[in-house]
Amino acid sequence: MSPAMSTAIEANKEGDQPESQYQKGVKHLWDSGITRVPNKYILPASDRPGLTRDDNQSGNPNLKLPVIDFAHLQGSNRSHALNTLAKACEEYGFFQLTNHGIPSEVILNMVEGSKRFFELPFEERSKYMSTDMYAPVRYGTSFNQNKDRVFCWRDFLKLSCQPLSGVLPFWPSSPVDFRQSAVDYSKQAKFLYLALTEAILESLGLVEATTKNNEYDSLKEFQDGSQLIVVNCYPSCPEPDLTLGMPPHSDYGFLTLLLQDEVKGLQIQHDGRWVTVEPIPNSFVVNVGDHLEIFSNGRYKSVLHRVLVNPLNSRISIASLHSLPVNKTVQPSPKLIDETNPRRYKDTNFASFLDYISSCEPKGKNFLESRKLT
């Protein structure tokens, strides 16, 4: 046995790995056959899901989020659906979206292509590793591997989608059909986002009720907005109570459309405790981002959420994060500010967010807190 192999075996026995192994990602560690969570991934006792999980203390461990039927938003039940949407954004910051209209083959191709990407040899995946937050494609691990003191049990592939014509040549060329699948998916997700944003604006009283002939006149500033597709890979974990797939955080953008499989993992903080979101087949989980909380002057709330990992099943989830253009200032809508509801947030933009997460270890809703006016 070589000295290097002997060292690796001893490191695994001790629950640790050479530092260079962490930067290669948790999928690389999983492929090596580890049977214990390395020390780099073990959270402080107070942050571990095994100790903070409220499932075991409640008769209702799973949360059924409000359900918005997208077909109702397009039909005669729109008024009722808008009321449900407003209540969901105010009280939960999350909702499930059914009957979304995205063809099943578009979703299946994206999911299967994503799985095959993470099954590629590390040498192929590593071509897309970058520390550049503005890179059109970025493969990495944890939440912010350059700042995280404790890594989370997650690898990711991030695809910038704006503009598609400019970024497409940089996207992974393997698997061979991945680019086209991602293009089809990103276009469908963008259309869905614009329709939801129009409904959001209407629910806030910022636009008049629309008709089928309306061409999104109220959405001009959103049409050229940013879109980032994040494919998350959560390999099965030998000691899931010691780590997390994603730490508690809120999303920085306007809206996030999350496609998750039927294996439970997503938890949100609701009424002061962590509850697991009950998956609904063929639906999206949609959540309010920090930018929408700012834009609505605090009426709609971005909510802390995290991801548990599983001892038996690996998981893939696909998030499409949407907001205004990267150079656009995000601020509370003037129509939502008056004497009884004063301005609550400073102006911000995407660059401010990237500067923030590049300079410190992001925790919870710290970035949004930095935007609040006292």
DSSP state of 21: H
Residue range 232-242: mean pLDDT, rounded: 96
Inside any domain, residue 319: yes
Inside any domain, residue 143: yes
What distances in angstroms separate CA 293 from CA 82, 106, 343, 348, one per listed residue? Answer: 17, 31, 12, 12
pLDDT on residue 78: 92
pLDDT on residue 209: 58
Cis peptide before 103 (omega within 30 of 0): no
Tell me the CATH number at 98: 2.60.120.330
Task: Lowest mean pLDDT of 74-88, 130-144, 191-205, name the range.
Answer: 130-144
- Domain span at residue 217 reads 47-371
pLDDT on residue 358: 65
Inside any domain, residue 17: no
Inside any domain, residue 21: no
pLDDT on residue 62: 78
The alpha-helical segments, DSSP class H, found in the chain are 3-13, 19-23, 26-31, 49-52, 70-73, 78-91, 104-118, 122-125, 164-167, 178-203, 220-223, 290-295, 350-359, 366-371
Q: Give tens-digit pLDDT for 185-228.
A: 999 999 999 999 999 999 999 886 544 444 445 577 888 899 99
Residue range 138-145: mean pLDDT, rounded: 85
Residue 237 has pLDDT above 60, yes or no: yes
Greater pLDDT, 9 or 113 = 113
Residue 144 has pLDDT above 80, yes or no: no
pLDDT-derived band at 263, boundaries 50, 70, 90? confident
pLDDT on residue 224: 87
Name the amino acid, one letter, at 373: L
Inside any domain, residue 16: no
Q: How far apart are CA 371 and CA 208, in angstroms?
A: 30
pLDDT-derived band at 145, boundaries 50, 70, 90? confident
Inside any domain, residue 40: no
φ and ψ at 258, to 5 degrees? -110, 125
Average pLDDT of the chain is 86
pLDDT on residue 52: 44
pLDDT-derived band at 147, boundaries 50, 70, 90? confident
Inside any domain, residue 201: yes
Within 13 Å, how many C-alpha atoms sit on residue 353's CB side? 22
Q: Give tens-digit pLDDT for 325-361.
A: 888 889 999 999 999 999 999 998 877 777 776 666 5
Residue 371 has pLDDT above 80, yes or no: yes
Residue 5 has pLDDT above 90, yes or no: no
Instruction: Give percent of the chain above pLDDT 70.
Output: 86
Residue 54 has pLDDT above 60, yes or no: no
pTM for the full predicted model: 0.89
pLDDT on residue 2: 40
Apex 29 CA angle, 306 and 167, nearest 5:
65
Residue range 38-54: mean pLDDT, rounded: 80
pLDDT on residue 142: 85
Q: Label the pairing between strands 315-322 and 94-98.
A: unpaired
The total number of structural domains in the chain stands at 1
pLDDT on residue 361: 57
Inside any domain, residue 41: no
Greater pLDDT, 131 or 336 = 336
Long-range contacts of 77-83 (CB under 8 A, 24+ apart): 78/199, 78/209, 81/199, 82/199, 82/202, 82/203, 83/203
Residue range 37-63: mean pLDDT, rounded: 71
Q: Give tens-digit pLDDT for 310-329.
A: 999 899 999 999 999 888 88
Please give the structure tokens belonging to residue 249: 């955080």
pLDDT on residue 7: 39
Q: How far apart are CA 293 and CA 287, in angstroms?
A: 11
Residue 366 has pLDDT above 90, yes or no: no
pLDDT on residue 212: 42
pLDDT-derived band at 59, boundaries 50, 70, 90? very low
